[in-house]
Amino acid sequence: MALNAAGRSAGPGRLELPENVVVSRLDELANWCRKNSLWPMPFATACCGIELMATGASKHDLARFGAEVFRFSPRQCDLMIVAGRVVMKMMPVLQRIWQQMHEPKWCISMGACASTGGVFDTYAVVQGIDRFIPVDMYVPGCPPRPEQLIQAIIDLQDKIQREGTITGREFDTSQRQLRKRALVEADELLVLDAARNPVVQRELSAAAHRS
């Protein structure tokens, strides 16, 4: 029986691949490339920024996970790490930076203040950036140790590998998300229900048929 380079039996329907060829799905390949080259955009506003710098430094090297450069331009990054509390005055700036990043993009909310407002439940601190920005990973801690941030990056890499697509379909949530029922007008609701519910469809068509 003939064997190909990988040691598997080379029968009909099996490709004979040389050693330096890998066959994969396009999505998986794209995910692998993207997850291993996450370039962070450090949005460091407070103390967590120091820990972010420490994570990028030589002892807990973040570059070995693909975060080779901390680009400070949103146009050149794919991962925004919000490290530190975000005040009311800074929130529109954060939103603008987020909108300027190109897709595919992800967001890590680092520390207690970015995730929930932390200890600062005051008139000026936003109680969690996920109220206004879509967040993919939360890192608890005040500040989180560099190892925790690295764990978040690893978890984000797993998430990208699991859920990513080459065209970024996973970011188009409007097709997957249903609008809140209470906010939909009644006649719109009927149309929506008809599209999904065969009983309503039958009733509507019977009523149309009769009239």
Partner 1 sequence: MPHDPSVDDLLTAVTGGFGTLETTVFRGQTSVVVPEPQSLELLTFLKTQGFDMLVDVTCVDYLEYRGAKQRYGLVYLLASTTTNQRLTVRVFVDDPVSDHEEWPTVRSVAAIWKAADWLEREVWDLFGIRFEGHPDLRRLVMPEEFTAHPLRKDYPLQGRGERHNFPVITRDHS
Give the interface with partner 1 as residue ranges (CB under 8 A): 88-89, 91-92, 95, 98-99, 103, 105, 121-127, 131-134, 171-174
Q: How far is the CB of 92 from partner 1 (least distance, A)?
A: 7
Nearest residue (CB) to partner 1, 30 versus 129: 129
Residue 23 Cβ, how far from partner 1 at the closest point, in Å?
A: 31
Type of residue numbered 66: G
Closest approach, Cβ 104 to partner 1, in A, equals 11
Nearer to partner 1, 17 or 184 (CB): 184
CB of 30 to partner 1, least distance (A): 18
8 versus 96: smaller Cβ distance to partner 1: 96
